[in-house]
């Protein structure tokens, strides 16, 4: 399913400008596809979207806009101290987010500002937690849409998949970011998880835009 620029999937210019100036790693084409995927899921007032890996909220705003259109919410989960690949010597380190007092990144203030500027905070449930810990509190609940974009180490990526994939309801959508077939372009865990999903009878592939791959749960 390629990106379809219909009116239903339109991003208001003001929201797009806020997204464009928010730090993060999601190209516009992928973000617009994320928004479309969320809208094609069974998102509703009683069925939420879940995002693993908020960072500064770039992708969250795409999901929050979809939640607004469906009178729903996105639950976004992050400890807001960055992942392994957000620290030196990796090229994804952003010194603007560094907090010298804690000697860690702190992405929460910029995320809060993005929510304030976008006026989408009513549709966002912010969870400041490790995703594995929170998954234990999310028992017996399902999700219309799941976006996995947390830590990309093998341990963290597979933990996110194992802890959360079975919470996607039938008909729901699971999206994974940074899926690169060419290992020179990115880490292997997201790609390996996408390959594993493609072999499951319970999920069917919807397509991929850039590095954003999507699957629908069918059983």
Q: Terminal CA-to-CA distance of the chain, rounded, Å?
A: 20
Give me 10's structure tokens.
């339109």
| Strand (E) or helix (H) holding 206 | strand 203-209
Whether 152 is a known active-site residue: answer yes
Select which of 35, 73, 80, 152 is catalytic.
Answer: 152
What letter would DSSP give residue 47? B
CA distance linking residue 175 with residue 191, whole number of Å: 12
The three-state secondary structure class of 148 is strand
b/e code 95-117 from CB counts within 10 Å (16+ = b): eebbeeeeebbebbebbeebbeb
Enumerate the active-site residues: 152
């Amino acid at each position: 399913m390629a990106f379809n620029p219909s009116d239903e999937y339109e991003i208001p210019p003001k929201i797009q400008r806020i997204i464009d100036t928010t730090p993060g790693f999601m190209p516009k084409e992928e973000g617009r596809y994320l928004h479309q995927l969320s809208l094609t899921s069974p998102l509703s007032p009683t069925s939420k979207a879940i995002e693993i890996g908020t960072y500064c909220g770039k992708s969250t705003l795409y999901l929050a806009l979809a939640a607004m259109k469906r009178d729903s919410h996105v639950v976004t989960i992050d400890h807001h101290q960055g992942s392994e690949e957000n620290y030196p010597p990796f090229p994804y380190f952003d010194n603007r987010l560094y907090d010298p007092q804690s000697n860690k990144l702190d992405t929460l203030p910029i995320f809060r500002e993005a929510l304030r500027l976008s006026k989408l905070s009513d549709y966002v449930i912010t969870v400041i937690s490790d995703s594995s810990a929170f998954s234990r509190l999310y028992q017996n609940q399902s999700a219309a849409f799941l976006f996995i974009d947390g830590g990309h180490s093998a341990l963290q990526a597979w933990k996110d998949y194992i802890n959360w994939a079975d919470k996607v309801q039938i008909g729901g959508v699971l999206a994974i970011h940074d899926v690169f077939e060419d290992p020179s372009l990115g880490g292997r865990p997201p790609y390996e998880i996408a390959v594993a999903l493609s072999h499951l009878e319970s999920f069917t592939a919807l397509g991929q835009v850039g590095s954003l791959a999507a699957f629908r749960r069918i059983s």
